[in-house]
Structure 1
Amino acid sequence: MDIEPLDNGDCPPAPIPEGALVRELPIINRKGLHARASAKFVQTVERFSSEVTVTRCGETVGGRSIMGLLTLAAAQGTSITVTAKGEDAEACLDAIAELLANRFGEDE
């Protein structure tokens, strides 16, 4: 299922580390990137060795930090920019994209 990312308004572009792969992903679940969703995000990232960052509206955090992800306040209808750098970066981004497309396993 292809989901079009939503516009984040006047937010500055995300910094992209040299050699990193990038995906802009929409937050479609009703509760956004809340604590349980952030924990699932981190669990997904930890299956891979790539370095992952997540950016929303100019704020960038590590993809392995639940608290960092929560500070992004990524509500339903916003989008996040995820970068991954490493040998398994593409597989990592695919897994993250699938997690978000499946609403973190939530019903809504």
Structure 2
Amino acid sequence: MNQTAQQTVRVDLEQGLHMVPCSLIARTAERFPCEIHIQKEDRSADAKTMLDLLTLSAENGSMLVLQASGEEARAAVDALARLFESNFSDTDPGSNC
């Protein structure tokens, strides 16, 4: 079954998406077998690749679209959305493995 999921999130980090949050996004995304992309305006990045995420130049206040397709797509988008909702401070690397 090919699932798709999408959710819009806001970057609420004073320095925007820098190395640490991008690393957390990539590590979280890697736990899921589906394809996951994050879109900012006309740019799209592979959520499993930290350097790709950095190219989004997502500043504080940026709106991003989390998009996943494939097995566990909904769970992947939910896990990534939780990172944004917690401002990357309430992370449990063992959850939703």
TM-score range, shorter chain: 0.7 to 0.9
1:1-108, aligned counterparts within 5 Å?
A: 20-105=4-89
Measure, in 2, the Cα distance between the counterparts of 1:36 and 1:90.
Answer: 24
Q: Render the CA deviation track for 1:48-102: whole Å, top value 9, x for unaligned.
A: 1110011112011111111111110101111111100112111111110101111
Instruction: Give the C-alpha shift of residue 20 in structure 1.
Output: 2.6
Measure, in 2, the Cα distance between the counterparts of 1:21 and 1:97.
Answer: 11
Report the identity percentage.
Answer: 27
RMSD: 1.6
* Alignment length (residue pairs): 89
Measure, in 1, the Cα distance between the counterparts of 2:27 and 2:46.
Answer: 13
Gaps of 5+ in 1: 1-17
Q: When the two structures are superposed, what TM-score results if normalisation uses the length of structure 1?
A: 0.76
Measure, in 1, the Cα distance between the counterparts of 2:34 and 2:20.
Answer: 22
For residue 11 of structure 1, what is the aligned residue in structure 2? none
**Amino acid corresponding to residue 97 of structure 1 in structure 2:** A
Q: When the two structures are superposed, what TM-score results if normalisation uses the length of structure 2?
A: 0.85
**Amino acid corresponding to residue 99 of structure 1 in structure 2:** L
Moved more, 68-77 or 18-27: 18-27
Gaps of 5+ in 2: 91-97
